[in-house]
């Protein structure tokens, strides 16, 4: 029966031709191969986000008077609502984590080298957008922590010279963080960002498919010296089955976290209460938060905030364009970029831990 | 088509058509984009709060405590000193806009977001705040505590 359907489709669509590139695709096998899995795991978690996000949309109502109550309704009245929402929150956090792991693995394995600059650029844009997903989604339950996080976050955007203030008003939908902000963030979170991200993922995957997997320079050098050491595995089915196993592990971890540590809801946002003690942004913004905290309020004649925001923007821009600073000769990778990558990793991890422990 | 004719007039004619077509295209694009850009900007909200608000009733506050009240669309902070004097200030931190609170243990105004402090006159004492808090006038009318924006001198 199934064979008949496949044959029917094949006669019309030439399925063999469509998957032929995948049949020819191979994945280099070496001691660092396991880093190749993290991009796929990030993609898998994104798929989970789309699916659970659609489920949440069945009951969620945006608006300052309804949002908190509707999430409460999902978590207390809807069957398995707590699980769906918990999975959405946990998967979001894990996805940002695996996206960062993927980014740093690509940095250290120098997989961004020519001809893969555009893969890196689309990947970095995706990382920024994923953080945008985190920031906009965080507000949607309309609780106190989210309210102040959004207030501070948009205020920071407002510190950028010249375009800052119009940008802040655009994000907030007015001078203050209100129900209008919630409506906008909802629109960004469920319509604008998904559209852009899906297009970028398509380009990113197309480029990976077109150019194949990168081999780290060291391994490449060993293989050039000793061609018989070169190992490859077929993408279909060998690598794909391994990737599916990784996805299975990911969903196990995700379900365990979501069920054992259900995501809390907090207290409904009220614009007329004080910010609660011990308030902090989500962990993936902590390293920037802590950086801003350490800059004095005035450096020479520039406001500390402005300096911090400009510094972070420039660092992000530099990181986006990283491949263009690398040598395009495979054998001559630039050591200072490796040094800088180590510094970046230590800085991000160190500042995050510091921000987590600091009062 | 006359073979002896120079290509000059033709190119200028083509050039003119290109300018008209391109200009028309750009103009229609601008006419699409302009309303969209204007649509992005939210309409200004009329602040109906006025310059005066009843922040609390007499007896609402214990000495050495504070309370957030609503002043138009923004929060204000009303403090009753331990010596029985009322003070009212803007509760919006001048750093990144969080809502500050009165700390009875420190007898200071504190912002939880980035650990900024102000004294009871609103002066930024420590932490990241770059400017003092706005101070409002307070007076008691009957059993109501009324807060006014300071008149610009």
Q: What is the pLDDT of residues A164-197, one digit of tens each?
A: 999 999 999 988 899 999 999 999 999 999 999 9
**What integer pLDDT is reported at residue A20 of this predicted model?**
82
The answer to whether the Cβ–Cβ distance between A148 and B101 falls below 8 Å is: no
Q: How far is B91 from chain A (nearest CA, A)?
A: 8
DSSP sequence for B48-103: TT-SEEEEEETTSS-SSEEEEEEETTEEEEEEE-TTS-EEEEE-B-TTT-PBPEEE
Residue with tokens 């209100």: A178
pLDDT in tens, A127-139: 999 999 999 999 9
Comparing CA positions, the residue from A94, A352, A90, A146 lying closest to residue A265 is A146
User: In chain A, which residue's Cα lies nearest the Cα of B127?
Assistant: A297
* Secondary structure (3-state) at A173: coil
Which residue in A176, A181, A188, A274 has the most chain B C-beta atoms within 10 A of its own C-beta, making it the best mutation to test that interface?
Answer: A274
- Give the count of Cβ contacts less than 8 A between chain A and B: 72
Q: Is B125 on the interface with A (CB under 8 A)?
A: no
φ/ψ of residue B126, rounded to 5: -150, 170
Give me the residues of chain A with pLDDT under 50, please. none
Q: How far apart are CA B109 and CA A197, in angstroms?
A: 43
Q: Using CB atoms and an 8 Å cut-off, which of residues 15-74 of chain B contact chain A? A: 40-42, 45, 68-70, 73-74
Comparing CA positions, the residue from A246, A219, A217 lying closest to residue A107 is A217
Which residue in B41, B97, B111, B114 has the most chain A C-beta atoms within 10 A of its own C-beta, making it the best mutation to test that interface?
Answer: B97
Q: How far is B108 from chain A (nearest CA, A)?
A: 14
In this complex, the residue of B40, B70, B111 whose CB is nearest that of residue A275 is: B111
- What tokens appear for B148 in the block? 């006014």
The answer to whether the Cβ–Cβ distance between A297 and B128 falls below 8 Å is: yes
Cβ–Cβ under 8 Å, residues A75 and A265? yes
Cβ–Cβ under 8 Å, residues A164 and A158? yes
In this complex, the residue of B41, B96, B112 whose CB is nearest that of residue A274 is: B112
Check pLDDT > 70 for residue B83. Answer: yes
In this complex, the residue of A173, A274, A304 whose CB is nearest that of residue B101 is: A274
- Those residues whose C-beta lies under 8 Å from the C-beta of residue A131, and which sit 6 or more positions away, are A96, A284, A285
Q: Which helix (H) or strand (E) is A117 found in, with range?
A: helix A117-139
Q: How far apart are CA B93 and CA B109, in angstroms?
A: 10
- Those residues whose C-beta lies under 8 Å from the C-beta of residue A242, and which sit 6 or more positions away, are A37
Q: What is the mean pLDDT of residues B36-61?
A: 79
User: In chain B, which residue's Cα lies nearest the Cα of A280?
Assistant: B113
In this complex, the residue of A151, A174, A275 whose CB is nearest that of residue B112 is: A275
**What integer pLDDT is reported at residue A132 of this predicted model?**
96
Give A273's contacts in chain B (Cβ within 8 Å): 68, 99
User: In chain B, which residue's Cα lies nearest the Cα of A178?
Assistant: B73
What is the model's pTM?
0.86
Give B91's contacts in chain A (Cβ within 8 Å): 274
The answer to whether the Cβ–Cβ distance between A152 and B75 falls below 8 Å is: no
Helix axes A240-260, A81-108, angle to 10 degrees: 130
The answer to whether the Cβ–Cβ distance between B40 and A170 falls below 8 Å is: yes
Is cis: bond before A237, omega within 30 of 0? Answer: yes
Cβ–Cβ under 8 Å, residues A355 and B114? no
The answer to whether the Cβ–Cβ distance between A305 and B95 falls below 8 Å is: yes
Comparing CA positions, the residue from A190, A176, A99 lying closest to residue A140 is A190
The answer to whether the Cβ–Cβ distance between B96 and A156 falls below 8 Å is: yes
**Residue length of chain B:** 153
Q: How far apart are CA A234 and CA B95, in angstroms?
A: 56
Give B99's contacts in chain A (Cβ within 8 Å): 148, 271-275
Comparing CA positions, the residue from B67, B62, B52, B65 lying closest to residue B139 is B52
Q: How far are the Cα atoms of A7, A10, A11, A15, A150 from residue A2, in angstroms, in the given order? A: 8, 12, 14, 14, 52
Residue with tokens 């009322």: B86
Check pLDDT > 50 for residue B153. Answer: no
In this prediction the ipTM stands at 0.71
What structural domains and CATH numbers belong to chain A? Answer: 23-275 (1.20.810.10)
Q: How far apart are CA B9 and CA B139, in angstroms?
A: 84
Q: How far apart are CA B144 and CA A184, in angstroms?
A: 39
Mean pLDDT for chain B?
85
The answer to whether the Cβ–Cβ distance between B100 and A275 falls below 8 Å is: yes
**What integer pLDDT is reported at residue B44 of this predicted model?**
77
- Angle B126-B127-B129 from CA coordinates, rounded to 5°: 95
Q: How confident is the model at residue B47 (pLDDT cuts 50, 70, 90)?
A: low
Give B40's contacts in chain A (Cβ within 8 Å): 170
Q: How confident is the model at residue B136 (pLDDT cuts 50, 70, 90)?
A: very high
- Those residues whose C-beta lies under 8 Å from the C-beta of residue A34, and which sit 6 or more positions away, are none
Bridge partners (DSSP) listed for residue A232: A28
Burial of B34 (0-12, 13-18, 19+ CB in 10 A): exposed
The answer to whether the Cβ–Cβ distance between B96 and A151 falls below 8 Å is: yes
User: In chain B, which residue's Cα lies nearest the Cα of A271?
Assistant: B75
Comparing CA positions, the residue from B96, B42, B125 lying closest to residue A305 is B96
pLDDT in tens, A242-252: 999 999 999 99
Q: How far apart are CA A89 and CA A254, in angstroms?
A: 10
Q: How far are the Cα atoms of A236, A270, B108 from residue A241, in angstroms, in the given order? A: 8, 49, 62
Q: How far is B152 from chain A (nearest CA, A)?
A: 23
């Amino acid at each position: 029966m199934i064979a008949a359907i496949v044959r029917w489709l094949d006669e019309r669509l030439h399925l063999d031709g469509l998957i032929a590139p995948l049949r020819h695709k191979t994945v280099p096998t070496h001691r660092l191969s396991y880093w190749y899995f993290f991009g796929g795991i990030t993609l898998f978690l994104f798929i989970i986000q789309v699916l659970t996000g659609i489920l949440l949309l069945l009951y969620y109502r945006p608006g300052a008077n309804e949002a908190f109550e509707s999430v409460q309704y999902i978590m207390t009245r809807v069957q398995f609502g707590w699980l769906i929402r918990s999975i959405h929150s946990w998967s979001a956090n894990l996805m940002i984590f695996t996206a960062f792991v993927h980014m740093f693995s690509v940095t250290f394995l120098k997989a961004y080298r020519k001809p893969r600059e555009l893969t890196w650029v689309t990947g970095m844009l995706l990382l920024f957008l994923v953080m945008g997903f985190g920031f906009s989604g965080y507000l949607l339950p309309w609780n106190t922590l989210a309210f102040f996080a959004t207030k501070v976050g948009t205020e920071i955007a407002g510190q950028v010279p010249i375009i800052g203030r119009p940008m802040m008003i655009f994000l907030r939908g007015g001078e203050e963080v209100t129900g209008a902000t919630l409506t906008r963030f909802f629109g960004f979170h469920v319509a604008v960002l998904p559209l852009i991200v899906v297009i970028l993922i398509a380009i990113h995957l197309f480029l990976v498919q077109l150019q194949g997997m990168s081999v780290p320079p060291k391994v490449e050098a060993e293989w050039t010296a000793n061609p018989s050491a070169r190992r490859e595995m077929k993408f279909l089915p060998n690598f794909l089955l391994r990737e599916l196993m990784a996805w299975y592990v990911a969903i196990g971890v995700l379900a365990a976290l979501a069920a054992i540590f259900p995501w809390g809801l907090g207290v409904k946002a009220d614009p007329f209460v004080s910010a609660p003690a011990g308030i902090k942004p989500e962990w993936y913004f902590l390293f920037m938060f802590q950086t801003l905290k350490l800059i004095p309020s005035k450096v020479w004649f520039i406001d500390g905030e402005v300096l911090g925001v400009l510094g972070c923007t420039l660092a992000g821009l530099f990181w986006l364009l990283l491949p263009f600073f690398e040598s395009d000769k495979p054998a001559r990778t630039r050591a200072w970029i490796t040094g800088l990558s180590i510094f970046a990793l230590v800085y991000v991890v160190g500042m995050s831990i510091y921000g987590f422990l600091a009062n | 088509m006359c073979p002896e004719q120079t290509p000059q007039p033709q190119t200028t004619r083509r050039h003119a058509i290109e300018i008209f077509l391109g200009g028309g295209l750009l103009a229609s694009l601008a006419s699409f984009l302009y309303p969209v850009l204007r649509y992005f900007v939210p309409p200004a909200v009329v602040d109906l709060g006025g310059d005066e608000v009843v922040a609390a009733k007499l007896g609402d506050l214990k000495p050495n405590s504070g309370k957030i009240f609503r002043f138009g669309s923004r929060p204000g902070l009303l403090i009753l000193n331990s010596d029985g004097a009322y003070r009212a200030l803007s509760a919006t931190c001048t750093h990144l806009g969080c809502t500050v609170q009165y700390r009875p243990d420190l007898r200071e105004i504190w912002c939880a977001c980035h650990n900024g402090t102000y004294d009871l006159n609103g002066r930024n004492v420590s932490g990241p705040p770059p400017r003092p808090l706005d101070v409002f006038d307070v007076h008691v009318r009957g059993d109501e505590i009324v807060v006014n924006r300071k008149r610009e001198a």
